[in-house]
Amino acid sequence: MELSQFIKKSKINALNHFNFDPYKFYNHIVFIQQFYIQISVTNYILEKTKCTKERMINSFKMVNLNEDICDQDVCDLSLSEKLKIELAISLILNEEEIVIYQFDKYFMEKDLVYFKRLLKKLVLKYNKTVVLIDCSLSFMLDFVERLVILKDEAKVLVYDKKDFFNNELEDLLDLPNIIDFQKYVNRKNCVLNNCTDLKELIKAIYREVH
Amino acid sequence: MNELVNINDIDLKINKKDFFKNFSLTFYKGVNAFICGTSASGKTLLLKAIARKIKFSGEIICNGVVALLFDKYYFSSSLVEDELRYVFLSSEQKAFVNSFFDKKMLKSNPNDLSFYNKKILLLCTFLYQNPQMVFIDNLYSFISTSDIEKFDEYFNKNKITVILISNNIEEALNYDYMIVMDKGIIALEGKTEQVLKEEKLLKRLGIGLPFYVDLSIQLQYYNLIDKVCLNKEELVDKLWN
């Protein structure tokens, strides 16, 4: 499939979507499941992965989940805990590609910083390919290598990291505030050098104002 | 101010452990509030308690019609129009629905809608209830800014108070009041601008700050500006004019 070819070229990809159904492209996606029956976390994971309990606990540690959760009913978990469990399952299954759908919507800064580190580690140390599917760039800005934009499902546009400040992107998706701010400043004839990190941006503003 | 939802001294256990202990909180008519908190802080659990979907001791009094919009993925109705109780809606409400769903979509199965349209459908389900207050659990995080504006315009026009639960701290700036939850307690509560000034505590709680608030606080340390700015126009004006 054309899309898969694009994705395989880079280790961390971002896939923009609004009306895109990721299940058409992948078998297992790290995404919240709806539960209709009462089942404990342990039984749910063991049923899906057939792994040992020890392996399950290790994967919990990786996704920052407390062991206490094992005996809880999956229906009683919070949305973010359910998502962490799906990520743990993906780690147990040890798939080559980890596909994560709308990940950042369920976590606040502390968890997002942790998961960015974890995903980078999975890529660098375990040679995984990570695909993040989202409609905004905010979470992925400082660590994706390639951005694949799906326009009307049929049209695929591919951008590299250096293209994130490209004016075309403005019309295709909501820009993260750090890019939007610099574009706004640049239009006022003050030049800031395409920063993707807050500390860099503060230094650039300091230089420009002085 | 009219108290619309009054949560009074509730106790709630999860897995035989206390989660909410003597938890109290009041939501007032006309005061839009933003609730945030890290993973498993009790945001959705609080909504489930208001909806009586979970057992608790203590009392929750609703002095009016309150709609609770949860984030879910499957629908019990076989048609979108049935899920929305479309035939019972007023002409204004129908026009609002039609701005998202055409005739063909109204006759389709809600479970076959795209992920995005499912979220819009969930948001539209408040209409038939004609509520005075609506609680939204994380649904705004998935929809475009222009569609959020449409919903907000409807809420404003019809004087519906909105209580938004979200992990997107940027959205806090659109709300008058802010509540930060942490492990079943209210860690911070107050007018949004006041709460956002608690930079160190918010960062320690793992919440973070909206981009322009964070940037302007950092720039204050370098004496480049003298107040917290909430948007790019204000910040650029302070820096370069």
Domain boundaries, chain B: 3-200, 210-241
Using the predicted structure, report yes or no on whether residue A3 has a pLDDT greater than 50: yes
CA-angle at A22, arms to A19 and A28, nearest 5°: 160
pLDDT tens digit sequence for B3-14: 999 999 999 988
Min mean pLDDT across A92-101, A122-131, A156-165 is at A156-165
Radius of gyration of chain B (CA): 20
- DSSP, residue by residue, B20-50: EEEEEEEEETT--EEEEESTTSSHHHHHHHH
CB pair distance less than 8 Å for B15 and A19? no
Q: What is the pLDDT of residue B154?
A: 97
For residue A5, pLDDT beyond 70: no
ipTM: 0.81
For domain B3-200, give the fold. Answer: Rossmann fold (3.40.50)
pLDDT top residue among A188 and B82: B82
Q: What distance lies between CA B204 and its chain's CA centroid?
A: 23
Give the pair of three-digit tokens for residue A112.
């997002």
The pLDDT of residue A4 is above 70: no
Q: Which residues of B touch A (CB under 8 A)?
A: 14-15, 36-40, 43-45, 71-74, 114-117, 138, 141-142, 144-145, 167-170, 203, 205-208, 211-212, 214-215, 218-219, 222, 224, 232, 235-236, 239-240
Question: Given this model, what pLDDT does residue A152 score?
Answer: 63
Sheet holding A129-134, edge to edge: A97-101, A129-134, A12-16, A146-151, A155-160
Please give the pLDDT value at position A37.
74
Instruction: Give the least confident one: A13-22, A49-58, B5-14, B98-107.
Output: A13-22
The answer to whether the Cβ–Cβ distance between B240 and A198 falls below 8 Å is: no
The C-alpha atoms of residue B148 and residue B152 are separated, in whole angstroms, by 6
Cβ burial, residue B156 (10 Å; 0-12/13-18/19+): exposed
Of the candidate ranges A168-177, A179-188, B15-24, B45-54, the one whose mean pLDDT is the lowest: A168-177
Going by pLDDT thresholds of 50, 70 and 90, the confidence category of residue A155 is low
Domain boundaries, chain A: 2-167, 176-210
**What is the spatial distance between Cα A11 and Cα A81, in angstroms, rounded to a whole number?**
26
CATH fold, domain A2-167, is Rossmann fold (3.40.50)
Q: Could you tell me whether strands B185-191 and B177-182 are parallel, antiparallel, or unpaired per DSSP bridges?
A: antiparallel
Q: What pLDDT is stored for residue A151 in this prediction?
A: 67
Contact B39 A108 (CB under 8 A): yes
Indicate if the pLDDT at residue A16 is higher than 80. Answer: no
What is the pLDDT, as a whole number, of residue A169?
79
What band does A1 get if pLDDT is binned at 50, 70 and 90? very low
Residues of chain B with pLDDT under 50: none
The pairing of strands B33-37 and B161-165 is parallel
- Comparing CB atoms, the residue among B38, B142, B224 nearest residue A110 is B38
Contacts of B189 (CB under 8 A, 6+ apart): B177, B178, B179, B180, B195
Centroid of chain to Cα A55: 24
Looking at per-residue confidence, does A106 or B61 come out higher? B61
Burial letters for A17-28: b for 16+ Cβ neighbours within 10 Å, e otherwise? bbebebeebbee
Contact by Cβ (8 Å): A87, A63: yes
Mean of pLDDT values over A164-180 = 82
